[in-house]
Structure 1
């Protein structure tokens, strides 16, 4: 494994703090399906980018490290970047966090900001 892959793997596992089972359960929820960017058509139809990413994250987390592909590492790097950027943009009020679209979007990407 290259040094870059080792760093991405570590960063990904730091960013994704939900188990595959917890993420799958969340992805089945109405809140998960409701949030996120669903394409340029402006109609909000179809699966959001984050929801699709969540399904891929579950697949990656269930694979053995030795079986991960370059495409998996590229997606893992994308997840790390999204989580870092989105965490920096929290809701205005602390009490809004638990049931916010901000949190639900992050959870689609495998990160629950309320989990320590």
Structure 2
């Protein structure tokens, strides 16, 4: 029974209430249980994702390709696995180049499910990092600036 793993400081009725919840998507925070499962989140519709992607990715194909060839690009970011030679952001940049080349007119009907899925990641990453850090806009040598460029966003262009 799950209730024996829940701290005794939580009232019994609360412990009983949480006997059938998903451990993979629920965490205990300082303010109580928080469910991070898919049922509590709403995804943006495809047209919003495409619009935000086209707004946030402000580098064209040649600019992004040239950037991805630099040492600064290949060395910035983190590796998904310890043995990977390419960073997550660099791989994302290559995928963005493919998306931009495949659909230069940015026709929403031309994007497939894989494109939309990656566009969601790009929008999420760029929005999160732009909201958290001002460094990218001020310092072209910062990790933030280099990382955002790998994801197709040049903060100096804004």
Q: Name structure 2 gaps, 5 residues minimum.
A: 1-43
Matched with 1:89 is: 132
Q: Distance in 2 between matches of 1:115 and 1:94?
A: 9
**Residues 31 and 71 (structure 1), Cα distance of their counterparts in 2 relative to 1, 3 Å cut:** same
Residues 1:79 and 2:122 are matched in the alignment: yes
Q: Distance in 1 between matches of 2:113 and 2:96?
A: 14
* Structure with a larger share of its residues in helix: 1
Matched with 1:110 is: 152
Q: Name structure 1 gaps, 5 residues minimum.
A: none
* Structure with a larger share of its residues in strand: 2
Which structure: larger Rg? 2
Contact 1:91 1:100 in 2 (8 A): no
CA deviation string 1:29-83 (max 9, x = no partner): 0000010011342x7x510000000000011011233331111101001100000
Deviation at 1:98, TM superposition (A): 1.6
* RCO comparison, higher one (Cα < 8 Å, 6+): 1
Q: What is the TM-score normalised by the length of structure 1?
A: 0.85
**Residues 32 and 92 (structure 1), Cα distance of their counterparts in 2 relative to 1, 3 Å cut:** closer
Residue number among 91, 94, 100 corresponding to 1:61 in the alignment: 100
Q: What is the count of residue pairs matched by the alignment?
A: 111
Q: What is the TM-score normalised by the length of structure 2?
A: 0.64
Task: Write out the 4+ residue segments of structure 1 that deviate beyond 3 Å after TM superposition.
Answer: 91-95
